[in-house]
Amino acid sequence: MTTPTPFHKILIANRGEIALRVIRSARALGYRTVAVYSTADAHSRHVREADQAVCIGEPLPSQSYLRIDAIIDAAKRTGADAVHPGYGFLAENEDFAQACRDAGLVFIGPSPEAIRAMGHKAGAKQLMMDAGVPCIPGYQRDGTEGDQSPERLAAEAARIGYPVMIKATAGGGGRGMRLVSSAADFAAALASAQSEAQNAFGDPEVILERAILEPRHIEIQIFADRHGHAIHLGERDCSVQRRHQKVVEEAPSPAVNAELRARMGEVAVKAVKAIAYEGAGTLEFLLDRDGNFFFMEMNTRLQVEHPVTEAITGLDLVELQLRVAAGEPLPITQDDVRFSGHAIEVRLCAEDADGGFMPQSGRMALWHAPEALRVEHGLVSGVEVPPYYDSMIAKLVAHGRTRDEARRRLISGLQDLVALGVTTNQVFLARCLAHPVFAAGGATTAFIGTHQAELLGTDAATLRDAAAVAALVLAETAHDGTRRHSERRLTHTLPLGLRYGLGGATHAAALTQLGPNEFTAQIDGAERALQLVESAPHRLRVSLDGVVEAVAFHRDGARLLMHFRGRPYDVADHTRAVAQRQGGAGGDGKVRASMNGRVVAVLVAEGDTVQAGQPLLTLEAMKMEHVHVAPVAGRITLLAVGVGEQVAAHRVVIEVTAEAVAA
């Protein structure tokens, strides 16, 4: 007999869209909810939508969302008798699961023992091999002294044969992973992977595996209860990745047929039964070109991409988690699982794809999610996107009868999405979905690296049209910053001169009014016909050379944020600016922080001499590390930051005084 574990109030130990997702299903089942938040998230949606909320610390995760003591205390203070960890942060932390157990709280997830068994990649791989699950050949700890030394690891890499993959044994999300093509690159890649693993997980240990080139990344969703039942819910294809972080996920996989699905599902179920697993979990596999699959790791939690499985099965996976955690048997058997249609999800991230995918933060001035898609997010217009957490700020999911229908719907929804004020990867995602290789179902983990040049940049013709439309929007919003009301339409007897920056260039325009709301514009030497068709708050309909289109916008002083033809534009109005002497650009020796972030490594000291391009310090933001290098050869004359310090974007952190440095 198994013991039920009923509960009534759930604390969600997470933030943003993750917490909101759990709140939605918990409420549907009649549970009360408690949110926790850092001071940076005090005005977030998940805080407002929970029944109760408790502040657990300062912005950095280590000072808030990773504080086990503060979360347990918040549960006790609010009378919560269960904890849902969400996905990320402490979701796969056995110490957290154990602390919940010790405090008499129901942990909505697997046991601490199961998390411990599968959370360490080396140990998990050995368990899977013992259970007969196919694994990638490689090297992991065997208990011998010095088995993590650089010399031993280099020797093992040579034995495995290049290319090899270095993987941190703890954590996930692609952190601490490096692909190494030759022995000459191994030492530097190992040091980098171990450093990132230490900073991210507090554990520098790594394993080595033979690199399977251009595989598919396939994961199997499983569920198990304490009554000995386990099922799988099919696969998800997560092959479209950048830096080992998933970008696009879909179900089912275009590379998996019914027979392969059954084999992979059978292996996954066998694996979780071998460790008496309970709750939701995901086994991740690499699928090679010949149809062979190899175990990579198990995620002992719900995945970010679970909505695509929900879309094709009709199941609520959070609801299943809650029922299993309460001690109920799974309400379905394997024979009850049915798949319908196709679903695709993309991860909207606050990052500048055209600027090296640099993480972004700041104020989301205008936000409007497309109603035709399932959009998981915690955003509203005016909210601050902080620099302390993962760069993913939303995920968009489309479901269709066929893969192509789902793909078209998702592209259209991405083009309708209005996200102004914080740079996102919106356009990059739409281009991934529209690329012929992805459209044909042929994308592997090499997809982005192979086709990156085609997935980035701006179409020149669209940019010219955006520059023309921007002239009309600038003129229309010049006085009140939003729009002119119907009784205050533009009336100019003389051409209105405008000067503004857009797309890396400065544009000059002259608008001449021909009639009510009709203009001709001379823009960069070309004549365009413009008409204001309709206006509403933050929305216009304009005609450009006879074609009527919608424009969304937000005006903040001299800055105009504009959404046009499926992408955002940032326009700087220079019309009234006083001409200023241009200062020197580049080569001044000042190293400025590329983003808001935390200093995790300082590689030089004041007085050191450096070469141009030499690494100086490393910043961490939104789960990524960014190395800053010397802009010129010379001597370090200012070191303005230290390890652990939080810095703002564009702050001068190091100065290099140029001088001849011996080669």
List active site positions. Answer: 301
Which one-letter amino acid corresponds to residue 253?
S
Q: How far apart are CA 185 and CA 114, in angstroms?
A: 36
Burial of 151 (0-12, 13-18, 19+ CB in 10 A): exposed
Query: Cβ–Cβ contacts within 10 Å for residue 539, how many?
Result: 15
Strand duo 9-12 + 32-38: pairing: parallel
The helix/strand/coil state of 650 is coil
Three-state SS string across 294-309, please?
A: EEEEEECCCCCCHHHH
Close Cβ partners of 504 (under 8 Å, ≥ 6 residues apart): none
Which one-letter amino acid corresponds to residue 283?
L
Are residues 65 and 49 in contact, defined by beta-carbon separation less than 8 angstroms? no
Query: Cβ–Cβ contacts within 10 Å for residue 424, how many?
Result: 24
Burial of 7 (0-12, 13-18, 19+ CB in 10 A): middle
The rounded radius of gyration (Å) of the Cα atoms in the chain is 27
E strand or H helix that includes residue 185 = none
Close Cβ partners of 230 (under 8 Å, ≥ 6 residues apart): 222, 223, 224, 269, 272, 273, 277
Question: For residue 118, what are its two tokens?
Answer: 């599968």
Expressed in percent and rounded to 5, the helix, strand and coil fractions of the chain are: 30, 35, 40
- The residue behind tokens 């200062």 is 583
Strand duo 526-536 + 539-544: pairing: antiparallel
Are residues 365 and 339 in contact, defined by beta-carbon separation less than 8 angstroms? no
Interior angle at CA 246, CA 243 and CA 251, nearest 5? 150
Comparing CA positions, the residue from 598, 421, 642, 595 lying closest to residue 58 is 598
Q: How far apart are CA 67 and CA 75, in angstroms?
A: 13
| C-alpha pair distances (Å), 147 with each of 154, 189, 529 | 11, 17, 72
